[in-house]
Amino acid sequence: MPSAPDSASIPVIPGFHPDPSVCRAGEDYYLVCSSFEYYPGIPVFHSRDLVHWTQIGNALDRPDQLRLPPDAHSSGGLYAPTLRYHDGRFWLIVTNVNGDGNLLFTATDPAGPWSDPVRLPGVHGIDPDLAWDEHGTCWCTVAGISQVRIDPRTGETLGEPRRLWSGAPGAKTPEAPHLYRIGAYWYLLIAEGGTERCHGVSIARARTPDGPFEPCPANPVLTHRGTDHPVQNTGHADLVQGPDGSWWMVFLGVRPRGGSPDWHVLGRETFLAPVTWVDDWPVVGELTSARTPPPWPLRPPAEAPVRDDFDGGGLAPGWISPRIRREEDCTTGERAGWLTLRARGQSLDDTDVTFVGRRQQHLSCRAWTLLDPAEGSGGLAVRLDERHHYEIEATASEVRVVARIGPLRSVVASRPSAGGPVVLGVGTTPVQEITDPRDGPDTVAFYVREADGTRTELVRLDGRYLSTEVAGGFTGRVIGLYASAGTVRFDWFDYEPYED
């Protein structure tokens, strides 16, 4: 039987929001996550309490900041940003694995605009981190774990990189380094064990930022490997201090469901835990969520709307597209109150498909849209990558459900259409009781809403095939709108979560 969800299994930023990095400026917290092949890149969140977060923008929202070639593979693109507040400015460093390497951006307002990139050709490796010492020297540490001094304003490296402490002997994939000055020590926080079930967080300390580093005797300080905790793959952490002097850790985790070997479908999500210090070492407590908040008074921001009527001058920051979003192919300015999409690729199998979506953030949810396919074909899709997606698609004469699973593509249901605008829907339902060890994590159902308001279910599919354990990679599900031929127009999009 799956574990019943409780407050400790609820992420503070649900859905595909991995590799969190956090900083505080005054009483405000800001957090960024990896975005991989999606544009715009690097979502930026704001909070006053570390629990309730609102997306205020995307750091890389101009084509000259983020170059992703049309054939960039899924789970490529932008890896593991670090966000820091230093000397009155916000600093963001990130790796574009599809050609540009390590890049550094600055802003006075984290909501944007962010600067053009400063390139770091002398910094080799992913997961770059920034830290400044009391002399103003900037230290850049990358996965591996190696370190080099840099001039963050020019991107010039100062000296040769050198290896640092790389975690437990024999542990694979030492990555996600973050360097901090806390009290009398410099602390080097890393992830190790790989981002799957053996993921964990370890820490070492030194008297100087370049070591030598002494490992914590209680390492790993955070891991759920080998446990039945409902949150697994915990790692890739960052530390931040609260206004009352308390310490907190943000980190990624997944919520696997179903039989063996368990599947997670939303991607890696952002979680929070309190940190105390014992003998100058951090001790990580139980996970914290909106249901078990930190001790200071909460001032939660208003919830972002789950319905978009496309009445504004552009798309909200939560909308993302694979690799690029061309204004001529995706616009709210052509027909007032409608989103217009023009097809490039012929289907979601193509890397240049015209698609705009939002991350699925709840295990139980429904999404609906009203579209007009009079000039083409398109619909509503649940996407993991080009080889793993389900969609319900409308033409002027037909509504059909298509499943792409690895090398297989099939129309799994269809019905005639009366022509004209049509309301299409998709819903996900977690499996509540495991009766067979092969049971999947959830089902994905597709609907047509009839003229009288009733809904007709066309088909219900196994959700395991849209999971990371099947598809591989580093991303999670995105639910969105697409065009596969001609021009398709969407009047509204409605996302309705249920209690998980």
- Structure confidence at residue 297 as a pLDDT band (50, 70, 90): very low
pLDDT digits (tens, 9 = 90+) for 245-271: 999 999 999 999 999 999 999 999 999
pTM to 2 decimal places: 0.94
Question: Which residues have CB under 8 Å from 312's CB, separation 6+?
Answer: 332
Any domain includes 299: no
329: CATH: 2.60.120.200
- Mean pLDDT confidence for 308-331: 94
Residues 47 and 107 in one domain: yes
Does the active-site annotation cover 116?
A: no
Q: What is the pLDDT of residue 8?
A: 55
What is the percentage of the chain residues whose pLDDT exceeds 90?
87
CA 493 vs. chain centroid, Å, equals 21
CB atoms within 10 A of CB 205: 22
Please, which residues bridge with residue 497 across strands?
365
Residues 165 and 202 in one domain: yes
460 CB-contact burial (10 Å; exposed 0-12 / middle 13-18 / buried 19+): middle
Q: What values do phi and psi take at 302, rounded to 5?
A: -65, 145
CB atoms within 10 A of CB 87: 9
How far apart are the C-alpha atoms of 79 and 64, rounded to whole Å?
18
| Residue with the larger pLDDT of the pair 220 and 432 | 220
Picking from 105-109, 128-132, 201-205, 323-327, which range would have the lowest pLDDT averaged per residue?
A: 323-327
How far apart are the C-alpha atoms of 16 and 34, rounded to whole Å?
9
CB atoms within 10 A of CB 407: 6
Any domain includes 139: yes
Q: What values do phi and psi take at 463, rounded to 5?
A: -75, -10
Residues 394 and 483 in one domain: yes
pLDDT surpasses 70 at 298: no
Residues 329 and 241 in one domain: no
Any domain includes 2: no
Any domain includes 53: yes
Does the active-site annotation cover 49?
A: no
- For residues 30 and 46, is the Cβ–Cβ distance under 8 A? yes
Q: What is the pLDDT of residue 295?
A: 46
pLDDT digits (tens, 9 = 90+) for 51-84: 999 999 999 999 999 999 888 899 999 999 999 9
The identity of residue 190, as a single letter, is I
Q: What is the pLDDT of residue 300?
A: 37
Sign of CA dihedral 349, 351, 356, 358: positive
How far apart are the C-alpha atoms of 39 and 452, rounded to whole Å?
38
How far apart are the C-alpha atoms of 274 and 208, rounded to whole Å?
26
Residues 99 and 145 in one domain: yes
Residues 337 and 275 in one domain: no
CA 411 vs. chain centroid, Å, equals 30
118: CATH: 2.115.10.20
How far apart are the C-alpha atoms of 275 and 254, rounded to whole Å?
20
- Structure confidence at residue 289 as a pLDDT band (50, 70, 90): low
DSSP 471: H
pLDDT digits (tens, 9 = 90+) for 118-174: 999 999 999 999 999 999 999 999 999 999 999 999 999 999 999 999 999 989 999
The identity of residue 100, as a single letter, is D
CA nearest 441: which of 347, 363, 378, 379? 363
How far apart are the C-alpha atoms of 93 and 23, rounded to whole Å?
13
At 250, list the tokens: 């943000």
CA nearest 194: which of 268, 99, 287? 268
pLDDT digits (tens, 9 = 90+) for 346-405: 999 999 999 999 999 999 999 999 999 999 999 999 999 999 999 999 999 999 999 999
Residues 274 and 329 in one domain: no
- 40 upstream amide cis, omega within 30 of 0: yes
Q: Average per-residue pLDDT in the chain?
A: 93
Residues 63 and 179 in one domain: yes
Domain that holds residue 89: 7-284
**Rama region for 99: left / alpha / beta (φ>0; ψ in -120 to 50; rest):** left
Please, which residues bridge with residue 239 across strands?
249
- For residues 150 and 121, is the Cβ–Cβ distance under 8 A? no
How far apart are the C-alpha atoms of 103 and 96, rounded to whole Å?
7
Sign of CA dihedral 217, 219, 224, 225: negative
Max Cα distance, the chain (Å): 73
Question: Which residues have CB under 8 Å from 474's CB, separation 6+?
Answer: 18, 34, 36, 75, 195, 267, 268, 468
The identity of residue 432, as a single letter, is Q
Residues 273 and 359 in one domain: no
What is the percentage of the chain residues whose pLDDT exceeds 70?
94
pLDDT digits (tens, 9 = 90+) for 192-206: 999 999 999 999 999
How far apart are the C-alpha atoms of 52 and 500, rounded to whole Å?
18
pLDDT digits (tens, 9 = 90+) for 393-436: 999 999 999 999 999 999 999 999 988 899 999 999 999 888 99
Strand stretches in 265-352, DSSP E: 269-278, 281-284, 307-308, 321-322, 330-331, 339-342
Element (H, E) at 468: helix 468-471
Which of the following is catalytic: 61, 175, 192, 238? 175
Residues 312 and 275 in one domain: no
Based on the structure, what is the number of domains in the chain?
2
Any domain includes 302: no
